[in-house]
Amino acid sequence: MESILPKQIRTLITEFAKIPGIGPKSAERIVFFLLKTNQSDLDTFGSSLQSLKQNIKRCTNCFNITDNDICVICEDTNRSAAQICVVEEALDIVAIEKTRQFDGRYHVLGGVISPLDGIGPEELTIHQLDKRVRNEQPQLRELILATNPSLEGEATNMYITKKLGATGIEMTRIARGLPVGGEVEYADEMTLTRALEHRVKAG
Ligand SMILES: [Zn+2]
């Protein structure tokens, strides 16, 4: 079916189909939807896409995504300095913020330790987390480990617990309200709220 389509359309379908959660069928639907969209909306879409990487960077403090040096969460003086919630990706922050149950700050690891994928602790922001914990104590009292309930997530928690043990900081991990193999990003707000409330001592 695709072969009867102009090359530009086929290229766009191929590109959309690369996005997680979007298969070839959805990609076709998106492109045909865009064909019917007015030009000014398309221009906004196109220019945001084009400048995405240029304008978005990592917060120098917590590695959340931001268009400034410091992200809106780190900048917000109303948020508690007592807790840091450690997550794998910036998208996990979006999910946790939706619960409105957490008013501390975050630290984005940038992934999990996964030797098979060649990702060791040095590829993550664990060193920076260690530094942050040392700098922010004694106001900072607790690290909440909110990695995904996978083998890699657990291994990463264990590594952090061991590495930062010397700082004396209290470390907890979110409760297993999350199904095994489930991900923070996809958890519904109730599940995530319960997981935060019933967190347990890590290590
Ligand atoms: Zn930040």
Predicted model pTM: 0.79
Distance 49 CA to ligand 1 centre (A): 23
Half-sphere exposure (Cβ direction) of 53: Cα atoms closer than 13 Å: 1
Rounded to the nearest integer, the mean pLDDT of the chain is 90
Judge whether residue 193 has pLDDT over 90. no
Among 93, 95, 203, 89, CA closest to 155: 203
| Least confident window among 42-46, 49-53, 193-197 | 193-197
DSSP 107: E
Predicted local confidence at residue 197, as pLDDT: 79
If you measure from the C-alpha of residue 65 to the centroid of ligand 1, how many angstroms do you get, rounded to a whole number? 8
CA of 72 to the centre of ligand 1 (A): 7
- Could you tell me the two tokens for 56? 């978005």
pLDDT in tens, 158-192: 999 999 999 999 999 887 665 655 677 767 777 77
Q: How far is the CA of 61 from the centre of ligand 1 (A)?
A: 5
Distance 40 CA to ligand 1 centre (A): 33
| The pairing of beta strand 170-173 with beta strand 142-145 | parallel
Q: Ligand 1 centroid to 68 CA: how many Å?
A: 10
Indicate the helix (H) or strand (E) that contains 28: helix 24-36
Alpha carbons 90 and 146: distance in angstroms, whole number: 12
